[in-house]
Structure formats: structure tokens, C-alpha cells
Amino acid sequence: MKSANELLELLDLKSIDSVHFEGVSKTIGSPHVFGGQVLAQSVNAAYRTITNGRILHSLHAYFIEAGDLNVPIRFTVNEVRDGGSFSTRRVLASQNGIPIFILAASFHKQEEGYDHQIQMNTNLKQPEELLSWTEMLEQYGSVLPKITKHFLEIERPIEFKPVEVVNPLKQENLPPYSNVWFKLNNPLKEADLATKQQILTYISDYNILAAALLPHASKAHFGNTQMASLDHSMWFFRDFDFEDWMLYSIETPNASNARGFAKGNIFSRDGKLIACVAQEGLMRPMKKNPK
């Protein structure tokens, strides 16, 4: 999967009836279904039951079981409420009758009101000054750890350019934040806001939990730490487009009890705050095999 159109095909679920939908999966390098995929597909299912033009403003989700890449996912939407201004939906995703994911989503009619936002850090390197994941693979693939090399080799519809580049060969603890520029590989023109939100939801599960490893990078890495998304929340504020680079600015306030927590702000390149994200995930050190 390399293009935005292929991603849209993945997220556009097959309709069974008015509240039941079905989707398939594509790997991003993990043996299980990517959390961002089931998140975005669930948003697609919820949006399919919104007939009053309301726009998604928040979602809250829990990952219950690891999804099987080879089994279709069934999405069931509960139309909880359509009020005067807000519509609430609950989505259950399951495989072989077993729940793997639940989502609660709220949709709001378009209204005018007060407006403010935090400012984007403008002292960061711009995308043109940075290497993408693809370029890192081309330049350093021969010396990268096997697990990192395999992850970077997977084709994706999004290009990522990290501002703070982690050297996997230099084991040192790092500050509890990361900034990543991202952009779709090909333009996505004339997409409505609902479609753009689904794509942004998919992207939001990239990079965020990995930030929780940074303060422990002297001893923790993907090869010796079991990591999995446990929950995911997201708030959408403004319309946007994918014509230019966007910034995912992430910080990790806490890790404890084999869980890591991270939160992120997503900005357009001109500094508009588009969305905020929060996620907690499993971050369990693996026990070494006895000799």
C-alpha cells in the first residue's frame, strides 16, 4: 500500500446493512492489525450512520485484542443519540464474533464561537532539511538493526520525517518528546472533511507510543520491549488539507507500571492546530531467556 487512494480503499468499509460493515487489513510491519487502521475504519463506520452533516469532534477508543491480519473485521454501530447539536455513536469491531476494539465518537453541527490555540514550535528544522524514513533506509540500511530495517522497508502511503533522529546504535536516554513531519505520498484533492479526518486518525497511531521509549533508550528498544496500544483519544478542531507537510508534536509525561503515556498536537505547516491526541500503551520489558 503506497498511495493515498489505496489507503482510502482500505478505510472504505463494505456495507452489510445500515449499521453493520466489514473491512480487511493491510500490514505495516507488525504481525497484528495496526491500531490506526481499526481506529480509522471505525470512524468510517460511524460516519456512515451520520446523515445530518455533523462533523466528528472527538473519539475515545480501547484496543481489546490483537487483530488477526487474515480475518475480516466486522464493525457494528450503535446509534446512541442524535440530539439538537450533537450525535453520539458507539462502534464495536470484532473478528469471529470476538470483540477486538470499541470506539465512542461524538459529532457536532457546525457552529461559530470563540477561538484560540497554542502556538506551534517554529524553531524546528523544516521538512526540506530532514531525511525521510525512506531516505534513512537508503543511506543507513546496511547498519540498521534488523527489526528497524524491516519496519522501514514496508511501503506506506505516508512519508515521515523525524526532527529528532534516534540513533539505534547509540544507547542513551533521550528527552521525553519527539516531532515528526508527515505528508501523503501523493496529493489528495477535493476530499471532504470526513475523509480527511479518517486518514488523520489512521496516521495518529504512528510515532506516538514510540515516544514513551525515548527516556529509557539506553536500555529499552522495540527488540526487548513488548508494546501495544491500549487506548486512544483524539479531538478535532479545524479543517485542513494534505497538500503540504503537517507536524506531529509529541510529548510523553509518564511511564509506570509497564505502561507508557504520550500526547500529541497535530499542526498544519502554517501553524494551525488541527487535532490533539492522547494514548496509553503497554510498555513491558521482556524477560531474557534463561541460559
Catalytic residue among 42, 132, 205, 268: 205
Is 139 marked active-site? Answer: no
| Active-site hit among 106, 132, 249, 279 | 279
DSSP the chain: --SHHHHHHHHSPEESSSSEEEE----SSSSB--HHHHHHHHHHHHHTT--S--EEEEEEEEE-SPPBTTS-EEEEEEEEEE-SSEEEEEEEEEETTEEEEEEEEEEE---------PPP--SSPPGGGS--HHHHHHHHTTTS-HHHHHHHHS--SEEEEESS---TTS-----SEEEEEEEESS--TT--HHHHHHHHHHHHTSSTGGGGGGGGTTT--TTTEEEEEEEEEEEE-S---SSS-EEEEEEEEEEETTEEEEEEEEEETTS-EEEEEEEEEEEEEPPPPP-
Q: Which of 25, 198, 229, 268 is catalytic?
A: 229
197 is catalytic: no
Residues known to be catalytic: 205, 229, 279
